[in-house]
A and B are shown apart, each in its own frame.
Chain A
Amino acid sequence: MMFKKVAVAALIATTVLTVPAAAKEIEQVGRATYLEALKGKRVIFIPLSQGMDLNQAWTAVWERHAARYGFDFQVRDPNMDTAAGIRALQGAIGDKPDVLIVQNPDVQTYARALKQAQQAGIKILQINMQSITQTDSYVGNDWIEMGRLEAGELAKTCLAEGAPSKKIVWLAGVQTGAANIYMREGLDQILAENPELELVSDQPADYDSEKARQITETVLQQHPDLCGIMGIWDNAEVGAGAAVVAAGKQDQVTIVTNGAGAMTACDSIEKGMLDVVYNFNAPIQAEIAAQQISEFLQHPERPAGSEKTVFFGPITRVDANNATGRNCWTIDQLK
């Protein structure tokens, strides 16, 4: 009897003593600190416009992170209006969020406001479109490399034996946009390396498929032996594709562009409107940015602007052979 009592007491004692210890062992290292660091923090995103596929992918991913780890995530959409964008930026400075995410309309417009935000102690992540003001972080495309990749693709195709000609077209978006300026630099590098390549037209299509179609239709009349077209956004270049298809030249003209990797781009490849899409995989960009956001939130002791990092996301070459699976996401898959 005595033995039994002692045994029970010992058992209880060990249980009482070991339970907290066991709980500590199950605790994932750093999780509590992580949750603590993120909880109740505020992140504001000022996009160009939420109407674009890349923006929808980014916010779907960030909203998932915010909901899971308890930080507040707001989108203040200026809907392509730069004046509204500046107001949104000023408003955000007043709100003093912990992190501000900005997608720049061009290199100049937000430059001053970004400086002010930084001076106000807000950490700023620029996503995919840069400003001349460098802030804590840039996550997005290496746009010069993107220009090199697309122009390189055309150089390979149009300088090959049996190419219809060495003529190529650059369908820009908006000429003052960072992406345009840097892609053009990449294109110029490839043109300098391949002097035989002939750039016959460089008109901006203003990210509009109908404008792209009109330019392509006119250029095809001027240069019936055109070999390739490079562009900046798959949703605009489908217009170029439509003009090429209407002219019955889909086997002759190679259309290369880039995009967020949405299903619509894969559909366009399947329909023969686009040949190659350099997919910058917006969901992966958003995950990389989320890592950066969490780093900001876990290190509040580092002052805004004290470290400046740049990270270029992955770029996948997608054509008819691999326009499937993860290269073609839909929004519902990301939520």
Chain B
Amino acid sequence: MVSTEQNAEQSRKRGAFKVTQEGVVTAIAVVLFIVFSVVLDRFLTQGNILALLKNVAILGMLAVGMGFVVVGRGIDLTMVAVMVVGVAFAIWMSTQGFGFGEAIAIGAVLVALCGLVTGVLIAVAEVPPIFATLAMASVVYGGGRVAFTSDVLYAPAGIEWLTYIGSGNLFGIPVSVLIFALVAALIALFLKFTRFGRFVYATGDNPAAARTSGLPSRPVVITQYVISALIAYGAGILLTGLVSGINTRLYNSTLIYDVLLVVVLGGISLSGGQGGVRNVLVGTVLVGILINGMTIMNFSYTSQNLIKSVILLAALAFDAVINPRDEQTSQSGDI
């Protein structure tokens, strides 16, 4: 706890005369926003801004879950696998005679179990998070691949609430955006105002010190992975609402790296203990503006990926300069 406060103190001091990554990213986002508003027709319309937010709702939600884990000096590469397989499992259950609501609940239990296994591997077996989650992602996706013959599973027709979260509006704002905002707010409050939230920061900042001083670091780590799995599942349900089905092939896409991009871009250091939901939001908005602008300008997919990757690389380099690794922060198992 002491070190967290010291860190906060340090960053506050630094902020006074040195630019933070969050600040840089916010500035880039603002500049891009202004440039696109001037250069691109119909960029600055209510409809386009809402479309922009709706298009990053899934990414943003996954990034909130990822950020929550990264703050605790972890990384969760299982998120996309858990998302697609969890929802595909629920849809499959609904074709086996279960009601869709029941199927969703059973899926949630399965997903929580996946998170639990990942958490135990990391907290108890002490497998470094990057390897544990990389392997678990393969296991989860592989299991799904064996169980479901098709990549694309369609949700049963006529589920009103599913259609509503996908294409509904509340007070003129897409429901999907509101759900994203709600999840982000919950995690932000949780991190900031609960004792558990402070434990997450403490564990992320210095796991050994946290454990020595009597914090329940193992349960904390396990809970983090369960929560991130459930957030991924929530994002999957949202996705199913948006396009009326789930494509398990998403596991093979660059989505998980895009999620990491958002987290790191926003300024959550991979060495843990720093940052929060606000950083994720900043990263999400920047990626949203970028993708929206590039789509309007009709950039090819390859060049879109290239530009995104260059930005990730720059963010990582910047992160390394701002938050240099030292004796205290770099330890074995550190990613």
Chain A residues packing against B (C-beta within 8 Å): 49-53, 56, 79-81, 175, 201-204, 206-210, 212-215, 217-222, 235, 238-239, 242, 245-246, 264, 267, 271, 273, 331
Contact = CB atoms under 8 A, between A and B. Distances in A.
B55 interface: yes
Contact of B247 (A56, A218, A222, A235): A235
Q: Is the interface of A mostly helix, strand, loop or mixed?
A: helix
B145 A51 contact: yes
Interface in B242-293: 242-245, 247-250, 252-253, 291-292
Contact of A213 (B145, B242, B250, B296): B242
B249 A245 contact: no
Given A217-B55, A221-B45, A221-B47, A51 B243 contact: no
A209 B167 contact: no
B98 interface: no
Nearest to B45: A221
A217 B51 contact: yes
25 contacts: A49-B151, A56-B149, A79-B145, A80-B249, A80-B252, A81-B252, A175-B302, A201-B295, A201-B298, A202-B298, A208-B250, A208-B253, A209-B152, A209-B247, A210-B250, A214-B295, A221-B51, A222-B41, A222-B48, A239-B242, A239-B243, A242-B167, A246-B166, A264-B154, A271-B157
B51 A238 contact: no
Given A51-B149, A52-B150, A208-B249, 16 more contacts: A80-B252, A203-B298, A203-B300, A208-B247, A214-B291, A214-B295, A217-B51, A217-B54, A218-B51, A218-B296, A222-B41, A222-B48, A238-B244, A239-B242, A264-B152, A331-B149
A267 to B, nearest CB: 7
Interface of B: 41-42, 45, 47-48, 51-52, 54-55, 58, 145, 149-152, 154, 157, 166-167, 239, 242-245, 247-250, 252-253, 291-292, 295-296, 298, 300-302
A58 to B, nearest CB: 13
A314 B239 CA distance: 34
A245 B167 contact: yes
B247 A210 contact: yes
B168 to A, nearest CB: 9
Contacts of A273: 244
Given A206-B253, A210-B250, A267-B157, A218 B292 contact: yes
Given A210-B243, A221-B45, A215 B295 contact: yes
Contacts of A80: 249, 252
A49 B247 CA distance: 13
Nearest to B298: A201
Contacts of B250: 208, 210
A64 B283 CA distance: 52
Contact of A204 (B58, B149, B301): B301
A209 B51 contact: no
A201 B300 CA distance: 10
A203 B297 CA distance: 10
A222 B43 CA distance: 8
